[in-house]
Structure 1
């Protein structure tokens, strides 16, 4: 730490000129009551920004929901009158894996062992 601060020296004339400017008057007000002139405007601006951003983001998500929810009357009728099929979990699994069509004639067969090879029966 230095013995003297980093603040540049101002003569009385320069100090008087600075005190007449907007920044000089504002800095004097902040020194007198810092919360009223510095803290309160900051908190109010943050609150206002949060309200505006909430409205902005809600509008964005509402538009996205409208795009997803829009269906025709024909599609709605088709969904309402469509018969529900019975679901077999095994069939659905094989359909997803793409194994059902390939392995219709699949049959498990035991591999013949070579002479002297163990059966590996547990």
Structure 2
């Protein structure tokens, strides 16, 4: 696992230890939960709290679409509703055949075959 550790000379290591990244790395090695785990978990909790506003907006928009039905609207719906009778529909559709019409063959182009076999 040589790739995990970066080789630095003594001078480079002193400069690194004096930098913010070096001090933070040293603190993380001492107490990893306090300096890495706790900020990470708090970031997740705060992010979910912040994103809850966006989900609330989504549900509020959905609630605007679904409205409570008033009594007058309910009466209109009941008056427009008619019962379905299969026999009545059958006879109504049969009436379409009684109209005067005749099947006529479509004229073909010159080079088209009649497809008669």
1:102 counterpart = 2:93: yes
Which residue among 54, 57, 72 is the counterpart of 1:78? 72
Q: Relative to 1, partners in 2 of residues 1:25 and 1:80: Cα closer, same or farther, differing over 3 Å?
A: same
1-structure distance, mates of 2:12, 2:61:
58
Gaps of at least 5 residues in structure 2 are 98-117
C-alpha change, 1:53 and 1:101, in structure 2 (3 Å) is farther
Query: Superposed, which structure 2 residues align to 1:87-98 within 5 Å?
Result: 88=83, 91=85, 94=86
Query: How many pairs does the alignment contain?
Result: 93
Deviations 1:13-50 (A, max 9, x none): 10000011111110000001000000000000101111
Uncovered stretches (5+) of structure 1, i.e. residues with no partner: 107-122
Q: TM-score, normalised by structure 1?
A: 0.59
Q: Does 1:45 align with 2:43?
A: yes
Question: Cα 1:8–1:83, aligned 2, differ >3 Å: closer, same or farther?
Answer: closer
Alpha carbon RMSD of aligned pairs, Å?
3.2
Residue of structure 1 in register with 2:2 after alignment = 5
